[in-house]
């Protein structure tokens, strides 16, 4: 398998690097291809939200991944992508980011990176994933639209220094390659344990909005499949793989 990042296409402006890849099988069939853009005019976030783009001020890219994993482990790549970004921020900038399920990366309580993992069916039913990663690098929260300002931060704001986006890109790609290989080698339990060590869990309160209703509680850990386990007020616990998680505090 070629490494993730074997080819990097660099664009000045595009609607969304992820949409571009999902709409063209020539991109989707190319495992490891990366498309990076200086500006996205229609960047997309999780749950149908918009992803605000600061022209030139973010690291915004998508990559195609053909998982070398059994189907039940493919969803773990969502958690592992957040872990890869956290490790890269630690390596390049000596920061200690926190992870918020499923894959937000936080610094000082503000979101510094968002990740969108989308699947497309490939040949023989094998999934092709498009993993889109956006890291807020330059500027301050005040440069972003008012509705997202309070919840995000930027690397420059946290470190007080400009960010070498190329070094950060290469470090994230190196971590993604290493972690995908470790998962394929059966190291799932160790990676989930590392994710949990870096995660916001006990002491927080969440509401899971799922098809069968909303339930509130305290996030306490992960199942072996990467579902978030929530301890509910009635003393029970439940875990759900998909649903919209609202962080109440």
Binding site for ligand BTN (CB under 6 A): 16-18, 40, 43-46, 49, 51, 60-62, 114-116, 132-134
For ligand BTN, give the closer residue by CB, 114 or 217: 114
Minimum distance, C-beta of residue 44 to ligand BTN, in the bound complex (Å): 4
Residue 194 to residue 191: CA distance in whole angstroms? 5
- Residue 132 and residue 115 in contact, taking contact as beta carbons nearer than 8 Å: yes
- Residue 40 and residue 12 in contact, taking contact as beta carbons nearer than 8 Å: no
Minimum distance, C-beta of residue 187 to ligand BTN, in the bound complex (Å): 26
For ligand BTN, give the closer residue by CB, 130 or 227: 130
Minimum distance, C-beta of residue 129 to ligand BTN, in the bound complex (Å): 13
Q: Which position's Cβ is nearest ligand BTN?
A: 114
Minimum distance, C-beta of residue 150 to ligand BTN, in the bound complex (Å): 15
Q: Is 94 left (phi over 0), alpha (psi -120 to 50) or beta?
A: left
For ligand BTN, give the closer residue by CB, 200 or 231: 200
Minimum distance, C-beta of residue 112 to ligand BTN, in the bound complex (Å): 11
Max CA-CA distance within the chain? 52
Kindly report each contact of residues 213-218 with a partner whose C-beta sits within 8 Å and lies 24 or more positions away, as own/partner: 216/248
Q: Which helix (H) or strand (E) holds 121?
A: strand 110-121
Query: Both tokens of residue 158?
Result: 């946290």
For ligand BTN, give the closer residue by CB, 40 or 153: 40
For ligand BTN, give the closer residue by CB, 104 or 188: 104
């Amino acid at each position: 398998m070629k490494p993730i990042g074997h080819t990097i296409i660099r664009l000045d402006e595009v609607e969304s690097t992820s949409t571009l890849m999902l709409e063209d099988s020539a991109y989707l069939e190319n495992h490891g291809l990366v498309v990076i853009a200086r500006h996205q005019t229609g960047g997309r976030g999780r749950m149908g939200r918009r992803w605000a783009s600061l022209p030139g001020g973010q690291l915004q890219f998508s990559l195609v991944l053909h998982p070398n994993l059994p189907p039940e482990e493919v969803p773990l790549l969502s958690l592992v992508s957040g872990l890869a970004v956290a490790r890269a921020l630690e390596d390049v900038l000596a920061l200690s980011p926190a992870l918020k399920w499923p894959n937000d990366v936080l610094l000082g309580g503000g979101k510094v990176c968002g990740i969108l993992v989308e699947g497309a069916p490939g040949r023989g039913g094998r999934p092709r994933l498009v993993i889109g990663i956006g890291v807020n690098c330059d500027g301050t929260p005040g440069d972003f639209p008012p509705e997202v300002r309070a919840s995000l931060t930027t690397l420059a704001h946290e470190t007080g220094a400009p960010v070498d986006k190329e070094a950060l890109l290469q470090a994230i790609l190196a971590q993604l390659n290493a972690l995908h290989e470790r998962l394929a080698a059966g190291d799932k339990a160790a990676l989930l344990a590392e994710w949990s060590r870096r995660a916001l869990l006990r002491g927080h309160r969440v509401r899971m909005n799922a098809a069968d209703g909303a339930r509130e509680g305290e996030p306490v850990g992960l199942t072996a499949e990467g579902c978030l386990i929530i301890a509910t007020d009635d003393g029970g616990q439940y875990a759900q793989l998909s649903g919209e998680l609202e962080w109440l505090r």
